[in-house]
Structure 1
Amino acid sequence: MSVDYPYQDAFDRLLDQRDMATATHDEYTATLKDFFHYLENFNPTYQRTHQVNQLQTTDVQQYLSMLVTARQIKNQTYNKILSHLNVYFKFLFSHQWTPYLPTLDLKSKPKQPAQPINYQWVDNLETFLRDERLHVYTRLTLLLIAQGYPEQAFLKPGMTAQLQPTNWSPAARQFLKRFQAFIIPLQQRFQCPDWFLKQRAAADPHLTLPGLHKYLRPDEAIIGFSLSPTVLYQGYLINYLRRNPQKTDQEVIAALHLPPDSIDYYRRLAQRAD
Protein backbone atom coordinates (compact mmCIF):
# COMPACT_ATOMS: atom_id res chain seq x y z
CA MET A 1 0.00 0.00 0.00
CA SER A 2 1.46 3.38 -1.03
CA VAL A 3 1.85 6.19 1.48
CA ASP A 4 1.23 9.88 0.92
CA TYR A 5 3.93 11.23 3.25
CA PRO A 6 6.83 9.92 5.43
CA TYR A 7 5.91 7.80 8.45
CA GLN A 8 2.23 7.88 7.51
CA ASP A 9 1.43 4.43 8.90
CA ALA A 10 2.92 5.24 12.30
CA PHE A 11 1.28 8.68 12.42
CA ASP A 12 -2.07 7.18 11.44
CA ARG A 13 -1.83 4.87 14.44
CA LEU A 14 -1.24 7.87 16.70
CA LEU A 15 -4.31 9.63 15.31
CA ASP A 16 -6.36 6.47 15.73
CA GLN A 17 -5.31 6.31 19.38
CA ARG A 18 -6.68 9.81 19.88
CA ASP A 19 -10.12 8.57 18.87
CA MET A 20 -10.74 11.61 16.67
CA ALA A 21 -13.51 11.95 14.13
CA THR A 22 -12.87 10.48 10.70
CA ALA A 23 -13.24 13.91 9.11
CA THR A 24 -10.54 15.35 11.38
CA HIS A 25 -8.22 12.43 10.61
CA ASP A 26 -8.81 13.05 6.91
CA GLU A 27 -7.90 16.72 7.37
CA TYR A 28 -4.52 15.72 8.83
CA THR A 29 -3.92 13.41 5.88
CA ALA A 30 -4.89 16.09 3.36
CA THR A 31 -2.60 18.66 5.01
CA LEU A 32 0.44 16.40 5.11
CA LYS A 33 -0.15 15.02 1.64
CA ASP A 34 -0.31 18.56 0.25
CA PHE A 35 2.70 19.71 2.27
CA PHE A 36 4.97 16.96 0.98
CA HIS A 37 3.61 17.31 -2.55
CA TYR A 38 4.66 20.96 -2.38
CA LEU A 39 8.11 20.01 -1.06
CA GLU A 40 8.64 17.47 -3.84
CA ASN A 41 7.87 20.09 -6.48
CA PHE A 42 9.22 23.35 -5.08
CA ASN A 43 11.63 22.75 -2.20
CA PRO A 44 15.30 22.17 -3.20
CA THR A 45 16.24 20.67 0.17
CA TYR A 46 13.58 17.99 0.02
CA GLN A 47 14.03 17.42 -3.70
CA ARG A 48 17.72 16.70 -3.09
CA THR A 49 17.45 14.28 -0.15
CA HIS A 50 13.78 13.32 0.35
CA GLN A 51 14.67 13.15 4.03
CA VAL A 52 12.18 14.61 6.46
CA ASN A 53 14.91 14.98 9.10
CA GLN A 54 16.54 17.67 6.96
CA LEU A 55 13.55 20.01 7.06
CA GLN A 56 13.85 23.20 9.05
CA THR A 57 11.67 26.16 9.95
CA THR A 58 12.25 28.00 6.67
CA ASP A 59 10.95 25.02 4.70
CA VAL A 60 7.65 25.06 6.58
CA GLN A 61 7.51 28.86 6.37
CA GLN A 62 7.79 28.72 2.58
CA TYR A 63 4.85 26.33 2.36
CA LEU A 64 2.69 28.44 4.66
CA SER A 65 3.60 31.60 2.74
CA MET A 66 2.52 29.91 -0.47
CA LEU A 67 -0.84 29.06 1.07
CA VAL A 68 -1.38 32.69 2.04
CA THR A 69 -0.20 34.33 -1.18
CA ALA A 70 -1.19 31.80 -3.86
CA ARG A 71 -4.26 30.17 -2.31
CA GLN A 72 -5.31 33.13 -0.18
CA ILE A 73 -6.27 31.02 2.82
CA LYS A 74 -7.84 32.72 5.82
CA ASN A 75 -6.16 32.94 9.22
CA GLN A 76 -8.40 30.22 10.64
CA THR A 77 -7.31 27.79 7.92
CA TYR A 78 -3.67 28.85 8.35
CA ASN A 79 -3.83 28.06 12.07
CA LYS A 80 -5.45 24.69 11.48
CA ILE A 81 -2.78 23.66 8.97
CA LEU A 82 0.00 24.87 11.26
CA SER A 83 -1.54 22.84 14.09
CA HIS A 84 -1.59 19.71 11.91
CA LEU A 85 2.07 20.17 10.97
CA ASN A 86 3.01 20.88 14.58
CA VAL A 87 1.41 17.65 15.82
CA TYR A 88 3.14 15.70 13.03
CA PHE A 89 6.64 17.09 13.71
CA LYS A 90 6.28 16.69 17.48
CA PHE A 91 5.43 13.06 16.80
CA LEU A 92 8.55 12.61 14.66
CA PHE A 93 10.70 14.40 17.23
CA SER A 94 9.39 12.22 20.06
CA HIS A 95 10.53 9.13 18.11
CA GLN A 96 13.89 10.73 17.24
CA TRP A 97 13.02 10.54 13.54
CA THR A 98 13.97 14.18 13.19
CA PRO A 99 16.39 16.25 15.26
CA TYR A 100 14.40 19.43 14.63
CA LEU A 101 11.04 20.86 15.51
CA PRO A 102 10.62 23.11 12.43
CA THR A 103 7.27 24.42 13.64
CA LEU A 104 8.52 25.44 17.10
CA ASP A 105 9.09 29.11 16.28
CA LEU A 106 6.07 29.52 14.02
CA LYS A 107 3.17 31.45 15.50
CA SER A 108 -0.53 31.22 14.76
CA LYS A 109 -2.30 34.20 13.21
CA PRO A 110 -4.88 36.32 15.05
CA LYS A 111 -8.52 35.53 14.56
CA GLN A 112 -9.99 37.64 11.77
CA PRO A 113 -13.13 39.65 12.48
CA ALA A 114 -16.27 38.18 10.99
CA GLN A 115 -17.17 39.70 7.64
CA PRO A 116 -20.73 40.90 7.06
CA ILE A 117 -22.77 38.33 5.18
CA ASN A 118 -23.66 39.35 1.63
CA TYR A 119 -27.40 38.88 1.25
CA GLN A 120 -27.84 41.17 -1.75
CA TRP A 121 -26.33 38.70 -4.20
CA VAL A 122 -29.73 37.00 -4.47
CA ASP A 123 -31.22 40.19 -5.94
CA ASN A 124 -28.55 40.18 -8.68
CA LEU A 125 -28.90 36.50 -9.57
CA GLU A 126 -30.06 37.09 -13.14
CA THR A 127 -26.97 39.19 -13.87
CA PHE A 128 -24.71 36.46 -12.51
CA LEU A 129 -26.46 33.76 -14.53
CA ARG A 130 -25.72 35.70 -17.72
CA ASP A 131 -22.06 36.30 -16.86
CA GLU A 132 -20.12 33.96 -19.14
CA ARG A 133 -16.90 34.68 -17.25
CA LEU A 134 -18.21 32.59 -14.36
CA HIS A 135 -17.93 28.82 -14.61
CA VAL A 136 -21.21 27.03 -15.17
CA TYR A 137 -20.82 25.25 -11.83
CA THR A 138 -20.45 28.61 -10.11
CA ARG A 139 -23.63 29.91 -11.72
CA LEU A 140 -25.46 26.65 -11.01
CA THR A 141 -24.44 26.88 -7.35
CA LEU A 142 -25.83 30.42 -7.12
CA LEU A 143 -29.02 29.36 -8.85
CA LEU A 144 -29.68 26.35 -6.61
CA ILE A 145 -28.90 28.20 -3.39
CA ALA A 146 -31.26 30.98 -4.52
CA GLN A 147 -33.91 28.26 -4.84
CA GLY A 148 -33.33 27.36 -1.18
CA TYR A 149 -31.02 24.35 -1.53
CA PRO A 150 -27.86 24.19 0.65
CA GLU A 151 -24.79 22.44 -0.73
CA GLN A 152 -25.35 19.25 1.27
CA ALA A 153 -28.66 18.92 -0.58
CA PHE A 154 -27.69 19.74 -4.17
CA LEU A 155 -24.43 17.72 -4.07
CA LYS A 156 -26.23 14.63 -2.80
CA PRO A 157 -26.36 11.94 -5.51
CA GLY A 158 -29.78 11.70 -7.12
CA MET A 159 -31.02 15.07 -5.88
CA THR A 160 -30.53 17.36 -8.89
CA ALA A 161 -31.83 14.66 -11.24
CA GLN A 162 -35.20 15.02 -9.49
CA LEU A 163 -35.50 18.81 -9.77
CA GLN A 164 -38.43 20.27 -11.68
CA PRO A 165 -37.38 23.80 -12.75
CA THR A 166 -40.50 24.55 -14.82
CA ASN A 167 -41.67 27.13 -12.27
CA TRP A 168 -38.30 28.87 -11.99
CA SER A 169 -37.70 32.33 -13.48
CA PRO A 170 -37.22 32.78 -17.24
CA ALA A 171 -33.57 33.75 -16.60
CA ALA A 172 -33.01 30.55 -14.63
CA ARG A 173 -34.58 28.38 -17.33
CA GLN A 174 -32.55 30.18 -20.01
CA PHE A 175 -29.34 29.47 -18.11
CA LEU A 176 -30.30 25.81 -17.69
CA LYS A 177 -30.71 25.50 -21.45
CA ARG A 178 -27.12 26.64 -21.90
CA PHE A 179 -26.03 24.44 -19.03
CA GLN A 180 -27.38 21.38 -20.85
CA ALA A 181 -24.73 21.76 -23.55
CA PHE A 182 -22.08 21.44 -20.85
CA ILE A 183 -23.57 18.69 -18.71
CA ILE A 184 -25.16 16.30 -21.23
CA PRO A 185 -21.82 14.94 -22.53
CA LEU A 186 -20.72 14.27 -18.95
CA GLN A 187 -24.04 12.63 -18.10
CA GLN A 188 -23.70 10.38 -21.12
CA ARG A 189 -20.09 9.49 -20.33
CA PHE A 190 -20.85 8.57 -16.72
CA GLN A 191 -24.39 7.31 -17.33
CA CYS A 192 -25.55 9.59 -14.52
CA PRO A 193 -28.37 12.16 -14.69
CA ASP A 194 -27.07 14.45 -11.92
CA TRP A 195 -25.88 18.01 -12.53
CA PHE A 196 -22.61 18.22 -10.57
CA LEU A 197 -20.24 15.75 -12.21
CA LYS A 198 -16.47 15.49 -12.45
CA GLN A 199 -14.89 16.24 -15.80
CA ARG A 200 -12.38 13.39 -15.60
CA ALA A 201 -12.89 9.65 -15.40
CA ALA A 202 -13.62 8.49 -11.85
CA ALA A 203 -15.20 5.54 -10.10
CA ASP A 204 -17.64 7.98 -8.48
CA PRO A 205 -18.50 10.72 -10.99
CA HIS A 206 -20.16 13.03 -8.45
CA LEU A 207 -18.39 16.29 -7.67
CA THR A 208 -17.42 16.63 -4.00
CA LEU A 209 -17.56 19.86 -2.00
CA PRO A 210 -13.75 20.33 -2.19
CA GLY A 211 -14.02 19.68 -5.92
CA LEU A 212 -16.74 22.31 -6.25
CA HIS A 213 -14.57 24.82 -4.38
CA LYS A 214 -11.93 24.48 -7.12
CA TYR A 215 -14.43 26.07 -9.51
CA LEU A 216 -15.82 28.60 -7.05
CA ARG A 217 -12.59 29.99 -5.64
CA PRO A 218 -11.14 31.47 -8.87
CA ASP A 219 -14.49 33.11 -9.65
CA GLU A 220 -14.44 35.07 -6.39
CA ALA A 221 -11.98 37.49 -8.02
CA ILE A 222 -14.55 38.11 -10.78
CA ILE A 223 -17.67 38.32 -8.67
CA GLY A 224 -16.17 40.27 -5.79
CA PHE A 225 -17.50 38.35 -2.80
CA SER A 226 -17.18 34.98 -1.08
CA LEU A 227 -18.59 32.05 -3.02
CA SER A 228 -18.46 29.69 -0.08
CA PRO A 229 -21.75 27.76 -0.40
CA THR A 230 -22.29 27.99 3.36
CA VAL A 231 -21.93 31.79 3.31
CA LEU A 232 -24.07 32.11 0.19
CA TYR A 233 -26.81 30.06 1.84
CA GLN A 234 -26.71 32.25 4.94
CA GLY A 235 -27.09 35.27 2.65
CA TYR A 236 -30.07 33.64 0.97
CA LEU A 237 -31.75 33.01 4.33
CA ILE A 238 -31.18 36.61 5.45
CA ASN A 239 -32.52 37.91 2.15
CA TYR A 240 -35.65 35.79 2.52
CA LEU A 241 -36.30 36.96 6.07
CA ARG A 242 -35.82 40.61 5.12
CA ARG A 243 -38.26 40.24 2.24
CA ASN A 244 -40.82 38.38 4.33
CA PRO A 245 -40.88 40.07 7.74
CA GLN A 246 -44.57 39.31 8.19
CA LYS A 247 -44.14 35.54 8.11
CA THR A 248 -44.36 33.68 11.41
CA ASP A 249 -41.58 31.47 12.70
CA GLN A 250 -43.61 28.39 11.77
CA GLU A 251 -44.10 29.63 8.19
CA VAL A 252 -40.40 30.43 7.78
CA ILE A 253 -39.33 27.09 9.24
CA ALA A 254 -41.66 25.27 6.85
CA ALA A 255 -40.62 27.32 3.80
CA LEU A 256 -36.88 27.13 4.41
CA HIS A 257 -36.73 23.72 6.10
CA LEU A 258 -34.86 25.26 9.00
CA PRO A 259 -34.53 23.54 12.37
CA PRO A 260 -36.66 25.47 14.91
CA ASP A 261 -33.70 26.33 17.13
CA SER A 262 -31.94 28.26 14.35
CA ILE A 263 -34.72 30.67 13.35
CA ASP A 264 -33.86 33.23 16.07
CA TYR A 265 -30.22 33.26 14.97
CA TYR A 266 -31.09 34.08 11.36
CA ARG A 267 -33.71 36.64 12.36
CA ARG A 268 -31.05 38.49 14.38
CA LEU A 269 -28.68 38.40 11.40
CA ALA A 270 -31.43 39.79 9.19
CA GLN A 271 -32.17 42.58 11.65
CA ARG A 272 -28.49 43.56 11.85
CA ALA A 273 -28.03 43.55 8.06
CA ASP A 274 -27.59 46.93 6.47
Structure 2
Amino acid sequence: MTTNNYPYQANFETYLKQVALAPITISEYSSTLIDLFEYLSNFNHGYQKDHRVNQLYDRDIQQYMNMLVSERNITNTTYNKVLSHLNIYFKYLFSHDFTQKLPTLNLKGKERQLPSSVSLKWLKELPNIITDDQVHIYTRLVLLLISKGYSIKEFLQPGFYKEFEQIKWQGFEQPFINQFKAFIEPIQVRQSSPDIFLKQRFAGDPHITLAGIHKYLKPDEKKLGMPLKPSQLFQSYVVDYFLKHPDLSDTKLSSNLRLDMVSVLYYHQLIHKMNH
Protein backbone atom coordinates (compact mmCIF):
# COMPACT_ATOMS: atom_id res chain seq x y z
CA MET A 1 0.00 0.00 0.00
CA THR A 2 1.30 3.45 -0.99
CA THR A 3 1.94 5.91 1.82
CA ASN A 4 0.82 9.47 1.14
CA ASN A 5 3.26 12.06 2.48
CA TYR A 6 0.86 14.81 1.41
CA PRO A 7 -2.87 14.75 0.46
CA TYR A 8 -3.69 12.74 -2.69
CA GLN A 9 0.00 12.08 -3.40
CA ALA A 10 -0.62 8.75 -5.15
CA ASN A 11 -3.36 10.22 -7.36
CA PHE A 12 -1.34 13.31 -8.22
CA GLU A 13 1.85 11.43 -9.04
CA THR A 14 -0.12 9.06 -11.29
CA TYR A 15 -1.40 12.14 -13.10
CA LEU A 16 2.15 13.57 -13.46
CA LYS A 17 3.29 10.27 -14.99
CA GLN A 18 0.35 10.37 -17.41
CA VAL A 19 1.44 13.80 -18.67
CA ALA A 20 4.93 12.33 -19.20
CA LEU A 21 6.93 14.32 -16.65
CA ALA A 22 10.39 12.96 -15.94
CA PRO A 23 10.85 11.01 -12.65
CA ILE A 24 13.28 13.67 -11.37
CA THR A 25 10.64 16.37 -12.01
CA ILE A 26 7.96 14.36 -10.21
CA SER A 27 10.39 14.02 -7.31
CA GLU A 28 10.78 17.81 -7.24
CA TYR A 29 6.98 18.22 -7.06
CA SER A 30 6.87 15.77 -4.16
CA SER A 31 9.62 17.60 -2.28
CA THR A 32 7.76 20.90 -2.69
CA LEU A 33 4.44 19.49 -1.54
CA ILE A 34 5.84 17.48 1.38
CA ASP A 35 7.57 20.64 2.57
CA LEU A 36 4.38 22.71 2.20
CA PHE A 37 2.22 20.32 4.20
CA GLU A 38 4.87 19.78 6.88
CA TYR A 39 5.01 23.54 7.29
CA LEU A 40 1.20 23.84 7.45
CA SER A 41 1.01 21.00 9.99
CA ASN A 42 3.53 22.73 12.24
CA PHE A 43 2.74 26.41 11.84
CA ASN A 44 -0.73 26.94 10.35
CA HIS A 45 -3.45 26.91 13.02
CA GLY A 46 -6.32 26.42 10.56
CA TYR A 47 -4.74 23.38 8.91
CA GLN A 48 -3.64 21.91 12.27
CA LYS A 49 -7.30 21.52 13.36
CA ASP A 50 -8.35 18.84 10.89
CA HIS A 51 -5.72 18.67 8.13
CA ARG A 52 -8.31 19.23 5.39
CA VAL A 53 -6.78 20.34 2.12
CA ASN A 54 -10.14 21.61 0.87
CA GLN A 55 -10.12 24.24 3.62
CA LEU A 56 -6.92 25.95 2.49
CA TYR A 57 -7.12 29.56 1.35
CA ASP A 58 -4.74 31.79 -0.58
CA ARG A 59 -3.60 33.39 2.71
CA ASP A 60 -2.43 29.95 3.92
CA ILE A 61 -0.30 29.37 0.82
CA GLN A 62 0.97 32.96 0.91
CA GLN A 63 2.09 32.40 4.52
CA TYR A 64 4.24 29.49 3.32
CA MET A 65 5.63 31.47 0.38
CA ASN A 66 6.49 34.38 2.67
CA MET A 67 8.36 31.99 4.95
CA LEU A 68 10.45 30.73 2.01
CA VAL A 69 11.52 34.29 1.26
CA SER A 70 12.10 35.56 4.80
CA GLU A 71 13.62 32.46 6.42
CA ARG A 72 15.18 30.50 3.55
CA ASN A 73 16.16 33.47 1.37
CA ILE A 74 15.06 31.76 -1.85
CA THR A 75 15.63 33.53 -5.17
CA ASN A 76 12.81 34.89 -7.32
CA THR A 77 13.43 32.05 -9.77
CA THR A 78 12.98 29.41 -7.05
CA TYR A 79 9.92 31.24 -5.71
CA ASN A 80 8.31 31.06 -9.16
CA LYS A 81 9.23 27.40 -9.54
CA VAL A 82 7.66 26.47 -6.17
CA LEU A 83 4.54 28.50 -7.00
CA SER A 84 4.30 26.72 -10.37
CA HIS A 85 4.41 23.33 -8.60
CA LEU A 86 1.68 24.40 -6.17
CA ASN A 87 -0.46 25.85 -8.96
CA ILE A 88 -0.45 22.59 -10.89
CA TYR A 89 -1.19 20.56 -7.75
CA PHE A 90 -4.19 22.64 -6.68
CA LYS A 91 -5.53 22.83 -10.23
CA TYR A 92 -5.38 19.03 -10.32
CA LEU A 93 -7.30 18.79 -7.01
CA PHE A 94 -9.87 21.31 -8.23
CA SER A 95 -10.41 19.62 -11.61
CA HIS A 96 -10.87 16.22 -9.90
CA ASP A 97 -13.32 17.54 -7.27
CA PHE A 98 -10.96 16.98 -4.34
CA THR A 99 -11.41 20.64 -3.42
CA GLN A 100 -13.72 23.48 -4.40
CA LYS A 101 -11.03 26.13 -3.92
CA LEU A 102 -7.98 27.28 -5.88
CA PRO A 103 -5.80 28.75 -3.10
CA THR A 104 -3.03 29.77 -5.51
CA LEU A 105 -5.33 31.63 -7.92
CA ASN A 106 -4.50 35.11 -6.60
CA LEU A 107 -0.84 34.49 -5.86
CA LYS A 108 1.56 36.22 -8.23
CA GLY A 109 5.05 35.20 -9.27
CA LYS A 110 8.03 37.45 -8.64
CA GLU A 111 9.66 39.45 -11.41
CA ARG A 112 12.83 37.82 -12.62
CA GLN A 113 15.94 39.95 -12.55
CA LEU A 114 18.55 39.52 -15.25
CA PRO A 115 22.30 40.13 -15.15
CA SER A 116 23.33 43.22 -17.12
CA SER A 117 24.90 40.99 -19.79
CA VAL A 118 21.55 39.26 -20.40
CA SER A 119 18.87 41.20 -22.28
CA LEU A 120 15.68 39.63 -23.62
CA LYS A 121 14.72 42.78 -25.52
CA TRP A 122 15.75 41.38 -28.90
CA LEU A 123 13.64 38.23 -28.39
CA LYS A 124 10.55 40.32 -27.68
CA GLU A 125 11.19 42.59 -30.66
CA LEU A 126 12.20 39.84 -33.12
CA PRO A 127 8.88 39.82 -35.05
CA ASN A 128 9.43 43.52 -35.83
CA ILE A 129 13.18 43.22 -36.46
CA ILE A 130 12.91 40.56 -39.15
CA THR A 131 10.51 42.74 -41.15
CA ASP A 132 12.82 45.77 -40.96
CA ASP A 133 14.61 46.11 -44.30
CA GLN A 134 16.88 48.80 -42.79
CA VAL A 135 18.56 45.94 -40.87
CA HIS A 136 20.88 43.77 -42.98
CA ILE A 137 19.39 40.46 -44.00
CA TYR A 138 22.34 38.53 -42.51
CA THR A 139 21.84 40.30 -39.15
CA ARG A 140 18.18 39.34 -39.18
CA LEU A 141 19.01 35.73 -40.02
CA VAL A 142 21.59 35.57 -37.18
CA LEU A 143 18.95 36.73 -34.67
CA LEU A 144 16.33 34.34 -36.01
CA LEU A 145 18.65 31.32 -35.88
CA ILE A 146 19.82 32.14 -32.33
CA SER A 147 16.14 32.39 -31.33
CA LYS A 148 15.83 28.78 -32.57
CA GLY A 149 18.62 27.71 -30.22
CA TYR A 150 21.56 27.58 -32.64
CA SER A 151 24.90 29.06 -31.66
CA ILE A 152 26.86 31.09 -34.18
CA LYS A 153 29.52 28.35 -34.36
CA GLU A 154 26.81 25.93 -35.47
CA PHE A 155 25.23 27.99 -38.22
CA LEU A 156 28.50 29.34 -39.69
CA GLN A 157 29.69 25.76 -40.24
CA PRO A 158 29.74 24.60 -43.87
CA GLY A 159 26.89 22.15 -44.35
CA PHE A 160 24.48 23.87 -41.94
CA TYR A 161 22.14 24.44 -44.90
CA LYS A 162 20.95 20.82 -44.44
CA GLU A 163 19.75 21.64 -40.91
CA PHE A 164 18.40 25.00 -42.12
CA GLU A 165 16.14 23.25 -44.63
CA GLN A 166 14.59 21.14 -41.83
CA ILE A 167 13.60 24.06 -39.57
CA LYS A 168 9.85 24.56 -39.17
CA TRP A 169 9.17 28.30 -39.39
CA GLN A 170 6.35 30.09 -37.63
CA GLY A 171 3.84 32.10 -39.65
CA PHE A 172 5.46 35.48 -38.99
CA GLU A 173 8.90 34.07 -39.90
CA GLN A 174 8.03 32.58 -43.28
CA PRO A 175 7.88 35.86 -45.28
CA PHE A 176 11.39 36.71 -44.07
CA ILE A 177 12.66 33.23 -45.00
CA ASN A 178 11.18 33.67 -48.48
CA GLN A 179 12.94 37.05 -48.73
CA PHE A 180 16.23 35.52 -47.56
CA LYS A 181 16.04 32.67 -50.09
CA ALA A 182 15.50 35.18 -52.89
CA PHE A 183 18.59 37.04 -51.63
CA ILE A 184 20.90 34.05 -51.13
CA GLU A 185 20.08 31.84 -54.13
CA PRO A 186 21.94 33.98 -56.74
CA ILE A 187 24.93 34.16 -54.37
CA GLN A 188 24.88 30.38 -53.90
CA VAL A 189 24.99 29.97 -57.68
CA ARG A 190 27.82 32.52 -58.04
CA GLN A 191 29.86 30.94 -55.24
CA SER A 192 29.00 27.33 -56.20
CA SER A 193 27.96 26.63 -52.60
CA PRO A 194 24.64 25.63 -50.98
CA ASP A 195 25.58 27.27 -47.67
CA ILE A 196 23.61 30.21 -46.27
CA PHE A 197 26.28 32.63 -44.99
CA LEU A 198 28.29 33.45 -48.09
CA LYS A 199 30.41 36.40 -49.16
CA GLN A 200 28.67 38.49 -51.77
CA ARG A 201 31.87 38.95 -53.79
CA PHE A 202 33.66 36.05 -55.43
CA ALA A 203 36.38 34.57 -53.18
CA GLY A 204 38.53 31.48 -52.85
CA ASP A 205 36.67 30.52 -49.67
CA PRO A 206 33.13 31.90 -50.05
CA HIS A 207 32.12 31.33 -46.42
CA ILE A 208 31.65 34.31 -44.09
CA THR A 209 33.81 34.09 -40.98
CA LEU A 210 32.84 35.13 -37.44
CA ALA A 211 34.78 38.36 -37.95
CA GLY A 212 32.90 38.86 -41.22
CA ILE A 213 29.51 38.48 -39.50
CA HIS A 214 30.49 41.15 -36.97
CA LYS A 215 30.89 43.61 -39.86
CA TYR A 216 27.18 43.22 -40.53
CA LEU A 217 26.10 43.18 -36.89
CA LYS A 218 28.07 46.25 -35.73
CA PRO A 219 26.28 48.90 -37.86
CA ASP A 220 22.90 47.34 -37.02
CA GLU A 221 23.53 47.76 -33.27
CA LYS A 222 23.05 51.51 -33.72
CA LYS A 223 19.93 51.05 -35.87
CA LEU A 224 18.31 48.73 -33.31
CA GLY A 225 19.67 50.42 -30.20
CA MET A 226 20.89 47.19 -28.62
CA PRO A 227 24.12 45.14 -28.47
CA LEU A 228 24.25 42.30 -30.99
CA LYS A 229 27.20 40.25 -29.78
CA PRO A 230 26.30 36.68 -30.81
CA SER A 231 27.63 35.06 -27.63
CA GLN A 232 25.47 37.36 -25.47
CA LEU A 233 22.43 36.86 -27.70
CA PHE A 234 22.79 33.09 -27.35
CA GLN A 235 23.31 33.41 -23.60
CA SER A 236 20.09 35.42 -23.25
CA TYR A 237 18.22 32.86 -25.37
CA VAL A 238 19.39 30.01 -23.08
CA VAL A 239 18.53 31.95 -19.91
CA ASP A 240 15.06 32.67 -21.31
CA TYR A 241 14.63 28.95 -22.14
CA PHE A 242 15.67 27.88 -18.62
CA LEU A 243 13.24 30.36 -17.06
CA LYS A 244 10.37 29.28 -19.30
CA HIS A 245 10.97 25.56 -18.60
CA PRO A 246 11.65 25.34 -14.84
CA ASP A 247 10.44 21.74 -14.63
CA LEU A 248 12.84 20.25 -17.18
CA SER A 249 15.58 18.01 -15.85
CA ASP A 250 19.22 18.87 -16.51
CA THR A 251 19.43 15.93 -18.90
CA LYS A 252 16.48 17.27 -20.91
CA LEU A 253 17.89 20.82 -20.90
CA SER A 254 21.22 19.45 -22.12
CA SER A 255 19.52 17.50 -24.90
CA ASN A 256 17.09 20.22 -26.02
CA LEU A 257 19.72 22.97 -26.07
CA ARG A 258 22.63 20.80 -27.25
CA LEU A 259 24.67 21.89 -24.21
CA ASP A 260 27.09 19.78 -22.21
CA MET A 261 26.37 19.33 -18.51
CA VAL A 262 29.10 21.81 -17.52
CA SER A 263 27.26 24.49 -19.53
CA VAL A 264 23.93 23.51 -17.94
CA LEU A 265 25.51 23.97 -14.50
CA TYR A 266 26.93 27.34 -15.59
CA TYR A 267 23.47 28.58 -16.60
CA HIS A 268 21.94 27.37 -13.33
CA GLN A 269 24.59 29.37 -11.47
CA LEU A 270 24.06 32.42 -13.68
CA ILE A 271 20.31 32.37 -13.07
CA HIS A 272 20.90 31.85 -9.34
CA LYS A 273 22.94 35.07 -9.29
CA MET A 274 20.09 37.05 -10.85
CA ASN A 275 18.54 37.81 -7.48
CA HIS A 276 21.75 38.35 -5.52
Structure 2 vs 1, CA of residues 162 and 264 (structure 1 numbering), >3 Å: closer, same or farther?
closer
Deviation at 1:146, TM superposition (A): 0.7
C-alpha separation in 1, matches of 2:142 and 2:151: 9
Partner of 2:208, secondary structure, is: coil
Greater C-alpha radius of gyration? 2
Question: How many positions carry a matched residue from both structures?
Answer: 161
Q: Name the structure 2 match of 1:168.
A: 169
Kindly report which structure 2 residues correspond to 1:61-100, keeping only aligned pairs within 5 A, or say none.
none
Superposed CA RMSD in Å reads: 1.7
Q: Name the structure 1 match of 2:210.
A: 209
Q: Name the structure 1 match of 2:137.
A: 136
Q: Name the structure 2 match of 1:225.
A: 226
Q: Percent identity?
A: 39
Task: Name the TM-score, length of structure 2 as normaliser.
Answer: 0.55
Q: What residue identity is the alignment partner of 1:225?
A: M
Partner of 2:119, secondary structure, is: coil
Task: Name the TM-score, length of structure 1 as normaliser.
Answer: 0.56
Deviation at 1:253, TM superposition (A): 0.6
Q: List runs of 5+ in structure 1 lacking aligned partners.
A: 1-113
Report whether the alignment pairs 1:254 with 2:255: yes
Deviation at 1:162, TM superposition (A): 3.5
Q: Name the structure 2 match of 1:264.
A: 265
Q: Name the structure 2 match of 1:118.
A: 119
Partner of 1:134, secondary structure, is: coil
Q: Name the structure 1 match of 2:70.
A: none
C-alpha separation in 2, matches of 1:165 and 1:220: 29
Structure 2 vs 1, CA of residues 140 and 267 (structure 1 numbering), >3 Å: closer, same or farther?
same
Partner of 2:173, secondary structure, is: helix
Partner of 1:270, secondary structure, is: helix
C-alpha separation in 2, matches of 1:225 and 1:115: 12
C-alpha separation in 1, matches of 2:202 and 2:165: 28
C-alpha separation in 1, matches of 2:270 and 2:170: 27
Partner of 2:159, secondary structure, is: coil
Map Cα deviations across residues 85-124 of structure 1 (whole Å, 9 max, x no partner).
xxxxxxxxxxxxxxxxxxxxxxxxxxxxx84311342232
Q: Name the structure 1 match of 2:34.
A: none
Q: Name the structure 2 match of 1:192.
A: 193
Structure 2 vs 1, CA of residues 272 and 169 (structure 1 numbering), >3 Å: closer, same or farther?
farther
C-alpha separation in 2, matches of 1:192 and 1:162: 15
CA contact (8 A) 2:118 2:235 kept: yes
Deviation at 1:222, TM superposition (A): 1.2
Structure 2 vs 1, CA of residues 249 and 130 (structure 1 numbering), >3 Å: closer, same or farther?
same
C-alpha separation in 2, matches of 1:124 and 1:205: 31
CA contact (8 A) 2:218 2:228 kept: yes
CA contact (8 A) 2:117 2:232 kept: no
Which one scores higher on RCO, CA 8 angstroms, separation ≥ 6? 2
Structure 2 vs 1, CA of residues 247 and 162 (structure 1 numbering), >3 Å: closer, same or farther?
closer
CA contact (8 A) 2:120 2:240 kept: yes
